[in-house]
Chains A and B, each alone.
Chain A
Amino acid sequence: MGADGGTSRASAFERGGAHRLYRHAHSPVHALPPHTKLAAAFGFVVVVVSTPREAMWAFGVYAVLLGVVAYHARVPAGFLLKRLLIEVPFVAFAVLMPFVAEGERVDVLGLSLSVNGLWGAWNVLAKGTLGVAASVLLASTTELRELLLGLQRLRLPPLLVQIASFMIRYGDVITDEMRRMRIARESRGFEARGVRHWGVLAKSAGALFIRSYERGERVHLAMVSRGYSGSMPVIDEVTASRAQWSYALALPSAALVVCLLGWTL
């Protein structure tokens, strides 16, 4: 680690997660306090999941609701769709379902598909996509740091929040350490080719673990030296006004109405 450290390296190599998912903008959605957004996204997902799969129109309305949020958050459709690609492995699983599920069968284009399987696939696909879209919107309008403050405010166990916050802070430090170890290996003529070299890689992983563990001890020492006694001091109080809450909760409330209609119609 040299005096050159810093910005150039951070941008050339992996950056903190905040920058990959977050999309900087000034919109009413960005300005909402993080815990209201978390609660809204969570509420929305719960409502979507509890909607009967037969009410297909309801899922269309949900998608429109998310579209409205995205419009207000100034998140372009292309950005949102690209981020949705993370869902692909689950889609593959859903596509398999009509082929493997049991029960009544129906012929589509000469393929014999299970009716139950089709419904199951639709269920996974619709609910999954909406859930992922809601999370992507949350992540692109809320900075990682803010999310943590929001979780803290929503009374998530403080230890979990602390672990998450250290993960963000030290992710880069550890990837950098890993990179330096790789360069050191390669500089001495090592190239991982095949199973015979896995031993070396495993030992590197072990060394990295021990280094990280020791760093953890030093960080703890530095924290204790500045008066840490088991809980993080409150530095930023996040508060939300009634108006902000009602603004954030408009999404899950609208979704709830749709869901109830879905059950009754």
Chain B
Amino acid sequence: MDPVTTAPASLEVSGLAFAYPDGHQALFGVDFVVARGERVALLGPNGAGKTTLVLHLNGILTGGAGTVTVAGLPVGKRHMAQIRRRVGIVFQDPDDQLFMPTVREDVAFGPAAAGIRGAELEARVRAALEQVGMEDFADRPPHHLSFGQRRRVAVATVLAMEPEILVLDEPSSNLDPASRRELADILRALDVTVLMVTHDLPYALELCPRSLILSDGVIAADGPTGELLSDDALMRAHRLELPFGFDPRSVTMGA
């Protein structure tokens, strides 16, 4: 049905279930496929299991039922290093993500851990910083940047690994409107598959043609973002609320 199905999907999750050691079950059989080059939003109320799902995508959490496959490669102990290179996760708090003394070293961390050295490493770092418009800040310590700049550098740290899929956890949280728009421009310009975990619904509509709703540990809906957001009953059932005065039906999408 999709023209890109000839290449293996960027991400394929099937029958994924997981319970934490304390017995709390977070996921009850999650199935979905993200094709190469797609931008998909994963929506869901707090406590729906979004973070748990994200941590399964690069094998930080394992041990439940079901499988996760990244570009044809199953997530498991055998290919862990390769999986972590292919799945780039941008965590919510850039202070957690940026742990090196300078921006440059932080962006270099991932590729250097993969064994890249010297001129090639420098080229990777420069390219990644250029993609997020932060090339002038390479030698600054991360804590001297504004929050929006730190978030962009966090995206660059992951882009430097040239991932198959970029996973963003609440990318718009704590951003002022200008930084929010700048980040959106950057994400739109990227040529990678994106899975964006968020409850910022207008942002999802702006960036992602397709959305998944994760609720109570299962995928409750999967479809075009505009249609899902316009379905009042569905939205109410999963504790998803649009901001005051925002009507998805009145938004005309550029692309």
Assess whether B146 is in contact with A219, with CB atoms less than 8 Å apart.
Answer: no
Whether a CB of chain A sits under 8 angstroms from the CB of B36 is no
Q: Say yes or no: A7-B141 contact (C-beta < 8 A), given A145-B102, A225-B89, A233-B113.
A: no
Whether a CB of chain B sits under 8 angstroms from the CB of A238 is no
State A230–B150 Cα separation when bound (angstroms).
25
Q: Which partner residue on chain B sits nearest A168 by CB separation?
A: B101
State A235–B116 Cα separation when bound (angstroms).
9
Residues of A near B101 (CB, < 8 A) are 144-145, 148, 165, 168-169
Number of A-B contacts (CB under 8 A): 109
Could you tell me the distance in whole angstroms from the C-beta of A230 to the nearest C-beta in chain B?
Answer: 10
State A170–B94 Cα separation when bound (angstroms).
12
Assess whether A6 is in contact with B146, with CB atoms less than 8 Å apart.
Answer: yes
Whether a CB of chain B sits under 8 angstroms from the CB of A236 is yes
State A205–B12 Cα separation when bound (angstroms).
45
CB within 8 A of B117: which of A7, A145, A148, A234? A234
Assess whether B109 is in contact with A235, with CB atoms less than 8 Å apart.
Answer: yes
Whether a CB of chain B sits under 8 angstroms from the CB of A90 is no
Could you tell me the distance in whole angstroms from the C-beta of B102 to the nearest C-beta in chain A?
Answer: 7
CB within 8 A of B142: which of A169, A225, A234? A169
State A7–B158 Cα separation when bound (angstroms).
24
Assess whether A218 is in contact with B121, with CB atoms less than 8 Å apart.
Answer: no
State A199–B255 Cα separation when bound (angstroms).
59
Assess whether B147 is in contact with A4, with CB atoms less than 8 Å apart.
Answer: yes
Whether a CB of chain B sits under 8 angstroms from the CB of A254 is no
Interface of A is mostly: helix
Q: Which of B171-179, B196-204, B215-223, B228-236 faces chain A? A: B171-179
Assess whether A233 is in contact with B112, with CB atoms less than 8 Å apart.
Answer: yes
Residues of B near A234 (CB, < 8 A) are 112, 117
Could you tell me the distance in whole angstroms from the C-beta of B168 to the nearest C-beta in chain A?
Answer: 13
Residues of B near A148 (CB, < 8 A) are 101
CB within 8 A of A221: which of B91, B109, B174? B91
Could you tell me the distance in whole angstroms from the C-beta of B159 to the nearest C-beta in chain A?
Answer: 11
Whether a CB of chain B sits under 8 angstroms from the CB of A25 is no
CB within 8 A of A218: which of B58, B96, B105? B96
Assess whether A10 is in contact with B176, with CB atoms less than 8 Å apart.
Answer: no
State A162–B140 Cα separation when bound (angstroms).
19
Residues of B near A5 (CB, < 8 A) are 145-147, 150
Could you tell me the distance in whole angstroms from the C-beta of A169 to the nearest C-beta in chain B?
Answer: 6
Could you tell me the distance in whole angstroms from the C-beta of A233 to the nearest C-beta in chain B?
Answer: 3
Which B residues between 132 and 158 are near A, CB-CB below 8 angstroms? 141-150, 157-158
Q: Say yes or no: A225-B99 contact (C-beta < 8 A), given A3-B176, A169-B143.
A: no
Number of contacting residues on A, CB 8 A? 36
The 8 A CB mask of B75-118 against A (1 = contact, 0 = none) is: 00000010011011101010111011110010011101111010
Residues of B near A145 (CB, < 8 A) are 101-102
CB within 8 A of B60: which of A170, A215, A225? A225
Whether a CB of chain B sits under 8 angstroms from the CB of A224 is yes
Assess whether B149 is in contact with A6, with CB atoms less than 8 Å apart.
Answer: yes
State A183–B55 Cα separation when bound (angstroms).
34
Could you tell me the distance in whole angstroms from the C-beta of A13 to the nearest C-beta in chain B?
Answer: 11
Could you tell me the distance in whole angstroms from the C-beta of A148 to the nearest C-beta in chain B?
Answer: 8
Residues of A near B165 (CB, < 8 A) are none
Q: Say yes or no: A224-B109 contact (C-beta < 8 A), given A5-B147, A5-B150, A215-B96.
A: no
Could you tell me the distance in whole angstroms from the C-beta of B94 to the nearest C-beta in chain A?
Answer: 9
Could you tell me the distance in whole angstroms from the C-beta of A213 to the nearest C-beta in chain B?
Answer: 13
Residues of B near A235 (CB, < 8 A) are 105, 108-109, 112, 121
Whether a CB of chain B sits under 8 angstroms from the CB of A229 is yes
Could you tell me the distance in whole angstroms from the C-beta of A222 to the nearest C-beta in chain B?
Answer: 5
Assess whether B143 is in contact with A172, with CB atoms less than 8 Å apart.
Answer: yes
Could you tell me the distance in whole angstroms from the C-beta of B107 to the nearest C-beta in chain A?
Answer: 10
Q: Say yes or no: A7-B148 contact (C-beta < 8 A), given A2-B174, A219-B96, A236-B105.
A: no
Residues of B near A195 (CB, < 8 A) are none
The 8 A CB mask of A4-25 against B (1 = contact, 0 = none) is: 1111001000001010000000
13 new A-B contacts, CB < 8 A, other than A169-B141, A235-B121, are A1-B147, A2-B174, A3-B175, A4-B147, A5-B150, A169-B101, A169-B142, A173-B143, A215-B95, A222-B97, A225-B58, A226-B110, A227-B114
Which B positions have Cβ atoms within 8 angstroms of A? 55, 58, 60, 81, 84-85, 87-89, 91, 93, 95-97, 99-102, 105, 108-110, 112-115, 117, 121, 141-150, 157-158, 161, 174-176, 179
20 inter-chain pairs at a CB distance below 8 angstroms, sorted by A residue, are A1-B147, A1-B174, A2-B174, A6-B147, A168-B101, A169-B99, A170-B95, A170-B99, A215-B96, A221-B96, A223-B99, A224-B60, A226-B84, A226-B157, A227-B114, A229-B113, A235-B105, A235-B108, A235-B112, A235-B121
Closest 5 CB pairs of A and B: A233-B112, A6-B146, A227-B113, A3-B176, A226-B110
